[in-house]
């Protein structure tokens, strides 16, 4: 390898090490219970964590939320908002079809009220 190639390789390594943790991560969680001072017990990947609420939305047990980890630092995590349930679809009139043509039930629909609550 030439001196120039070695220099470029060293620069790449240095940049990668410096920027490796400069990314944001959002993870899915489920509210287990509300605690004091805007902190919630949140289940993430079958583990329970105490997570402060950064969204300003009040949550109840069972609510699905997004937890944000600034620069990938899980120790600085906070709740940023609600998330839709698995397989939910949006429709303004509570009807429609999705997937292979299966009928949408009321359990599958994100209502306008749920959307409004996400951005309240």
Contact by Cβ (8 Å): 25, 69? yes
Could you tell me the residue ranges of all domains in the chain? Answer: 21-82, 89-118
Please tell me the CATH code under which domain 21-82 is placed: 2.40.50.140
Q: What is the pLDDT of residue 24?
A: 73
Instruction: Provide DSSP, 29-93.
Output: EEEEEE-STTEEEEEETTEEEEEEB-S-----TT-EEEEEEGGG-GGG-EEEEE-PPTT-EE-TT
CA dihedral over 98, 101, 105, 108, signed as positive or negative: negative
Q: What's the whole-model pTM score?
A: 0.57
Is the pLDDT at 90 greater than 50? The verdict is no
Band the pLDDT of 99: cuts 50, 70, 90: very low
Q: What is the pLDDT of residue 75?
A: 93
10-68 pLDDT tens trace: 888 888 777 766 677 888 899 999 998 999 999 998 899 999 999 988 999 988 899 99
């Amino acid at each position: 390898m030439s001196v120039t190639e070695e220099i470029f390789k060293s620069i790449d390594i240095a940049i990668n090490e410096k920027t490796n943790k400069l990314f944001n991560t959002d993870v899915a969680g489920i509210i287990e219970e509300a605690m004091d001072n805007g902190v919630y017990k949140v289940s993430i990947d079958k583990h329970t964590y105490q997570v402060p609420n950064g969204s300003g939305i009040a949550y109840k047990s069972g609510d699905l939320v997004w937890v944000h980890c600034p620069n990938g630092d899980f120790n600085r995590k906070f709740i940023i908002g609600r998330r839709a349930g698995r397989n939910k679809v949006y429709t303004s009139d509570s009807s429609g079809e999705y997937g292979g043509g299966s009928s949408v039930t009321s359990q599958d629909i994100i209502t306008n009220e749920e959307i409004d609550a996400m951005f309240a």
